[in-house]
Amino acid sequence: IQKQITSIESLLSNVYEKTLPTLLEKNIKLTINCEEDLTANIDKIRIEQVLFNLIMNSFKYSSSNSFIQITVSSSDQNLQLVIKDYGDGIPQEDLPHIFKRFYRVDKSRTRSKGGTGLGLAIAYDIINLHNGTISVGSEVGQGAIFTIIIPL
């Protein structure tokens, strides 16, 4: 990875521009809340890819007119990024497996949506290379929430 001092606001604005055309297809609204003037020593391109993968998942597993919320904050030691949706959610028994390569929940449900089951495995690797953590919480029918913590 190629770390550089990165403005989080500019990173988020790239992600917003890149995902907007897709989100408009289902009229899904992306809201982003971020502390001002936040910077971090990270691989900008790769972290953008992580957020892109997560937003595309939220998009895929949400119905029309839904919402996706991103909240970014920092403490002395960490940068925290939270991505929340109100879509299908993920069954409890699948949660421990979704970061594995090629793992997809309920093949019959997900087959129609396309995908290889690599997006989250890639996200996991990228966050791991930053010595960070990515975790998920979900309830079926309520949505999913992904939390990324990267040490500063």
CB of 6 or CB of 88, closer to ligand ATP: 88
CA distances from 103 to 76, 99, 115, 121 (A): 35, 7, 10, 9
Asked if residue 28 binds ligand ATP (CB under 6 A), the reply is: no
Asked if residue 49 binds ligand ATP (CB under 6 A), the reply is: no
In the chain, which residue ranges form alpha helices assigned H by DSSP? 8-25, 44-60, 107-111, 119-129
Asked if residue 6 binds Mg ion (CB under 5 A), the reply is: no
Q: What angle do CA 130, 133, 134 make, to 5 degrees?
A: 120
Asked if residue 87 binds Mg ion (CB under 5 A), the reply is: no
Q: Which of 129, 150, 9 is nearest to 82 (CA)?
A: 150
Asked if residue 57 binds Mg ion (CB under 5 A), the reply is: yes
CB of 28 or CB of 105, closer to ligand ATP: 105
Restricting to residues 73-102, which ones interact with ligand ATP according to CB under 6 A? 85, 87-90, 98
Interface residue with ligand ATP, options 32, 82, 117, 125 (CB under 6 A): 117
CA distances from 86 to 24, 37, 131 (A): 16, 29, 29
Residues near ligand ATP, by CB under 6 A: 53, 57-58, 61, 85, 87-90, 98, 103-105, 110, 115-121, 144
